[in-house]
Amino acid sequence: MDIHAHANWLKNFYISRQWYPYPPFVRLAFLNEELGELAQAVRTHEIGRDHPDERQQTETEQLNHIREELADVFDNVLIMADKYGLTPDDLMEASEAKLQARFGTTTTQNAEDRK
Protein backbone atom coordinates (compact mmCIF):
# COMPACT_ATOMS: atom_id res chain seq x y z
CA MET A 1 0.00 0.00 0.00
CA ASP A 2 1.23 3.49 -0.82
CA ILE A 3 1.41 5.99 2.06
CA HIS A 4 0.26 8.85 -0.17
CA ALA A 5 -2.75 6.92 -1.46
CA HIS A 6 -3.67 6.05 2.13
CA ALA A 7 -3.27 9.66 3.31
CA ASN A 8 -5.55 10.83 0.49
CA TRP A 9 -8.11 8.09 1.15
CA LEU A 10 -8.01 8.89 4.87
CA LYS A 11 -8.57 12.61 4.33
CA ASN A 12 -11.55 11.89 2.07
CA PHE A 13 -12.93 9.42 4.62
CA TYR A 14 -12.61 12.00 7.42
CA ILE A 15 -14.30 14.60 5.23
CA SER A 16 -17.17 12.21 4.45
CA ARG A 17 -17.69 11.58 8.18
CA GLN A 18 -17.51 15.31 9.00
CA TRP A 19 -14.45 14.62 11.18
CA TYR A 20 -11.98 16.66 9.12
CA PRO A 21 -13.13 20.15 10.19
CA TYR A 22 -12.00 19.63 13.78
CA PRO A 23 -9.11 22.03 14.41
CA PRO A 24 -5.59 20.79 15.18
CA PHE A 25 -5.97 21.35 18.92
CA VAL A 26 -8.96 18.99 18.98
CA ARG A 27 -7.12 16.54 16.70
CA LEU A 28 -4.28 16.57 19.23
CA ALA A 29 -6.72 15.47 21.93
CA PHE A 30 -7.83 12.59 19.70
CA LEU A 31 -4.18 11.68 19.09
CA ASN A 32 -3.57 11.61 22.84
CA GLU A 33 -6.59 9.36 23.30
CA GLU A 34 -5.21 6.95 20.71
CA LEU A 35 -1.76 7.03 22.34
CA GLY A 36 -3.40 6.02 25.62
CA GLU A 37 -5.12 3.10 23.92
CA LEU A 38 -1.79 2.09 22.36
CA ALA A 39 -0.12 2.29 25.77
CA GLN A 40 -2.75 -0.03 27.24
CA ALA A 41 -2.35 -2.50 24.36
CA VAL A 42 1.44 -2.53 24.74
CA ARG A 43 1.16 -2.89 28.51
CA THR A 44 -1.18 -5.85 28.08
CA HIS A 45 1.29 -7.54 25.76
CA GLU A 46 4.44 -6.74 27.72
CA ILE A 47 3.43 -7.11 31.37
CA GLY A 48 -0.22 -8.16 31.29
CA ARG A 49 -3.29 -6.77 32.93
CA ASP A 50 -4.95 -8.03 36.09
CA HIS A 51 -8.58 -7.11 35.53
CA PRO A 52 -11.11 -9.79 36.48
CA ASP A 53 -13.69 -8.39 34.05
CA GLU A 54 -11.38 -8.78 31.03
CA ARG A 55 -10.85 -12.00 29.11
CA GLN A 56 -7.22 -13.07 28.71
CA GLN A 57 -6.16 -12.34 25.11
CA THR A 58 -4.01 -14.66 23.06
CA GLU A 59 -0.65 -13.33 21.84
CA THR A 60 -2.10 -13.01 18.33
CA GLU A 61 -5.01 -10.97 19.67
CA GLN A 62 -2.61 -8.78 21.64
CA LEU A 63 -0.44 -8.12 18.58
CA ASN A 64 -3.51 -7.42 16.43
CA HIS A 65 -4.67 -4.92 19.06
CA ILE A 66 -1.26 -3.20 19.03
CA ARG A 67 -1.38 -3.05 15.21
CA GLU A 68 -4.87 -1.53 15.33
CA GLU A 69 -3.88 1.11 17.87
CA LEU A 70 -0.65 1.95 16.01
CA ALA A 71 -2.76 2.43 12.88
CA ASP A 72 -5.08 4.79 14.78
CA VAL A 73 -2.09 6.83 15.99
CA PHE A 74 -0.62 6.81 12.47
CA ASP A 75 -3.89 8.02 10.95
CA ASN A 76 -4.21 10.82 13.47
CA VAL A 77 -0.65 11.94 12.71
CA LEU A 78 -1.42 11.93 8.97
CA ILE A 79 -4.56 14.03 9.48
CA MET A 80 -2.72 16.43 11.81
CA ALA A 81 0.04 16.83 9.23
CA ASP A 82 -2.51 17.53 6.52
CA LYS A 83 -4.09 20.22 8.67
CA TYR A 84 -0.73 22.03 8.51
CA GLY A 85 -0.22 21.38 4.81
CA LEU A 86 2.45 18.74 5.43
CA THR A 87 2.79 15.52 3.46
CA PRO A 88 4.09 12.16 4.63
CA ASP A 89 7.26 12.93 2.65
CA ASP A 90 7.68 16.17 4.62
CA LEU A 91 7.53 14.22 7.88
CA MET A 92 9.96 11.53 6.76
CA GLU A 93 12.41 14.09 5.39
CA ALA A 94 12.23 16.14 8.61
CA SER A 95 12.85 13.01 10.66
CA GLU A 96 15.92 11.99 8.68
CA ALA A 97 17.31 15.53 8.54
CA LYS A 98 16.94 15.99 12.30
CA LEU A 99 18.54 12.66 13.16
CA GLN A 100 21.37 13.09 10.66
CA ALA A 101 22.09 16.60 11.91
CA ARG A 102 22.06 15.44 15.52
CA PHE A 103 23.95 12.18 15.17
CA GLY A 104 25.61 12.34 11.77
CA THR A 105 25.03 9.79 9.06
CA THR A 106 25.08 6.44 10.83
CA THR A 107 23.77 4.29 8.02
CA THR A 108 24.93 3.62 4.50
CA GLN A 109 21.37 3.47 3.27
CA ASN A 110 19.91 6.86 2.35
CA ALA A 111 16.48 7.94 1.23
CA GLU A 112 17.27 7.34 -2.44
CA ASP A 113 18.27 3.72 -1.73
CA ARG A 114 14.81 2.97 -0.30
CA LYS A 115 12.88 4.15 -3.36
For 66-80, the three-class secondary structure string (H helix, E strand, C coil) is: HHHHHHHHHHHHHHH
What is the residue-averaged pLDDT of the chain? 92
pTM for the full predicted model: 0.85
Residue 113 pLDDT > 90, yes or no? no
pLDDT band of 111, cuts 50, 70, 90: low
Longest Cα–Cα distance in the chain: 51
How many other C-beta atoms are found inside a 10 Å radius of the C-beta of residue 76? 20
Helix ranges (DSSP H) in the chain: 3-16, 24-46, 59-83, 88-103
Residue 1 pLDDT > 90, yes or no? no
Is the separation of the CB atoms in 88 and 81 below 8 Å? Answer: yes
pLDDT for position 84: 97
For the chain, how big is the Rg over CA atoms in Å?
A: 17
The burial class, CB within 10 Å (0-12 / 13-18 / 19+), for 41 is buried
pLDDT for position 51: 83
**Model confidence over 23-69: pLDDT tens digits?**
999 999 999 999 999 999 999 999 998 788 888 899 999 999 999 99
From CA 105, how far away is CA 86, in angstroms rounded?
Answer: 25
SS3 of 90, please? helix
